[in-house]
Amino acid sequence: MLGTERLSHLLCLSIWFCCALRCIDGLENGVAQTPPMGWMPFERFQCTVDCIHFPRDCISESLFKRTADLLVSEGYAAVGFQYLIIDDCWMERIRDTSTQKLLADRKRFPSGMSALSRYIHGRGLKFGIYHDVGQQTCMFRGPGARGHFELDAQTFADWGADYVKLDGCYATESERNRGYPAFGKAMNRTGRTMVYSCSWPFYTEKPDYRLIAKHCNLWRFAEDITDSYTSVFRIMELYRRNQELLLAHAGPGRWNDPDMLVLGNFRLSYDASRLQLAIWSVIAAPLIMTNDLETVRPEIKELLQNREVIAVNQDLLGMPGKCVRASKYFQVWVRPVTPVNDLGQHSFAVAFVNRGGFDACPLCPRNFEVVLERLGLDSPTGYYVVDLFNSSRNMGMFKPNDAFNTRINPEGVTFYKFTVAPLY
């Protein structure tokens, strides 16, 4: 029986690995084997272009140089946050009249994009940039890629871009269905390796994720996130309702993108910050911060630099997790991770969510108890359990028929790694 179980696990892993290779081959770039980690300004800084009255918040080379320095000096780069990505509002409103090339805004980026890219690379980071597949960018601040795919892809390559985010505004569905694959192929033809982030499914009523996964490294499937628990949970629910479809096409080189991490801004509570970080790690989402790194509170910085949680997000199995139990008040999210024992059975990261809203006390902590085998944790060797938000807290050994009890703050999460025990 145990030999049959092991063979079944290995067969599943082989099928999954072959599927992953096929999808990577379709894109032909071999990057983003784990979810990208980095920083992007949009939710925090929006499209602020008045550098006279708002110099610290203005989308400018000053903001990106400052952030590059802080990613390194404050320890974010050391734990994996390597992509510094410029979002919308960086362009001049028209192309160069002689070459038709894109131009950075001359007042806000006086040194130009090549110089900014060199600065970012000089800090040991990677440079990302925003564009749009349609006629113009979403914030009306510059021309889109329509009619200039080869030129724009080559321009980004010449600037030393390592990551391109391609939005989908001001294009028809047929234009997007042709444009996203075409721009990706144009990127490949430059000879420079660039992560390709597509907003394709967000603009499509019935996305073909098989096709999207063939052409994109990651894809936005949800609305723009905002700095609130409500927004975070709404995106979680969208993933949960569509998780079988989303899971079927995700893996190394191809990731579901629920949008940025909003930790460290104005409204998200500490517990909701833990919640977003845990769920984004379970579903193998890109960890792209959007905040002012100079003003991130120490307790939030500690969360963002939690190496144990980041290890879950970056787990080399590359198998995204899902919600396995949901009720009015609680959810349980589970992801298979390394190590795997000699029986081919996985370890797991498990997030227990308290949605709040109890009639007697809507915002009270609550206990939650479940027998592990009901969550799919069925290895006869058992599991060693550690609290991922408190790695010094060893919970001991649990077998599949044991009940696991946890106390969860309202609109919050507890997050554990269940490391499968070896076969002695």
Instruction: Report DSSP letters for 293-327, one per residue.
Output: TTT--HHHHHHHT-HHHHHHHT-TT----EEEEE-
Q: Is the Cβ–Cβ distance between 194 and 187 less than 8 Å?
A: yes
Residues 107, 173 share a domain: yes
Predicted confidence (pLDDT) at residue 154 exceeds the cutoff of 80:
yes
Residues 331, 272 share a domain: no
Interhelix angle for 149-159 vs 173-189, to 10°? 40
Residues 88, 234 share a domain: yes
Spell out the residues 6+ positions from residue 119 whose beta carbon is closer than 8 angstroms to its own: 65, 68
The pLDDT value given to residue 8: 43
Whether 68 maps to a domain, the answer reads yes
Whether 109 maps to a domain, the answer reads yes
pLDDT digits (tens, 9 = 90+) for 303-342: 999 999 999 999 999 999 999 999 999 999 999 999 999 9
Asked which of 144-158, 257-271, 349-363 is least confident by mean pLDDT, the reply is 349-363
> Which tokens hold the place of 108?
């806000």
Domains identified in the chain, total number = 2
Catalytic residue among 57, 158, 224, 292: 224
Whether 21 maps to a domain, the answer reads no
Catalytic residue among 167, 227, 257, 315: 167
Query: Where does a domain end: 318, 341, 363?
Result: 318
Whether 25 maps to a domain, the answer reads no
The dihedral region occupied by 273, where left means phi > 0, alpha psi between -120 and 50, and beta the remainder, is alpha
CA distance 205 to 388: 37
Query: Where does a domain end: 267, 288, 318?
Result: 318
Residues 356, 209 share a domain: no
Residues 339, 297 share a domain: no
| C-alpha distance from residue 344 to each of 21, 71, 95, 198, 199 (Å) | 21, 38, 56, 34, 36
> For this structure, is 224 an active site residue?
yes
> For this structure, is 167 an active site residue?
yes
The pLDDT value given to residue 378: 96
Q: Is the Cβ–Cβ distance between 84 and 64 less than 8 Å?
A: yes
Query: Where does a domain end: 265, 290, 318?
Result: 318
> Which tokens hold the place of 248?
């079927």
Residues 371, 314 share a domain: no
Whether 341 maps to a domain, the answer reads yes
Residues 92, 75 share a domain: yes
Nearest to 283 by CA among 245, 238, 240, 321: 321
Residues 339, 236 share a domain: no
The pLDDT value given to residue 362: 76
Percent of the chain predicted with pLDDT > 90: 89
Spell out the residues 6+ positions from residue 68 whose beta carbon is closer than 8 angstroms to its own: 84, 119, 120, 123, 125
CATH code of the domain containing 178? 3.20.20.70
Spell out the residues 6+ positions from residue 411 whose beta carbon is closer than 8 angstroms to its own: 229, 233, 269, 271, 272, 275, 354, 355, 356, 363
Percent of the chain predicted with pLDDT > 70: 94
CATH code of the domain containing 357? 2.60.40.1180
Q: Is the Cβ–Cβ distance between 237 and 201 less than 8 Å?
A: no
Nearest to 400 by CA among 373, 423, 370, 369: 373
The pLDDT value given to residue 6: 40
17 pLDDT band (50/70/90 cuts)?
very low
The pLDDT value given to residue 18: 41
Whether 6 maps to a domain, the answer reads no
Residues 165, 42 share a domain: yes
Residues 346, 415 share a domain: yes
Question: Domain of 88?
Answer: 37-318
Residues 252, 113 share a domain: yes
Whether 5 maps to a domain, the answer reads no
Residues 129, 230 share a domain: yes
pLDDT digits (tens, 9 = 90+) for 104-142: 999 999 999 999 999 999 999 999 999 999 999 999 989
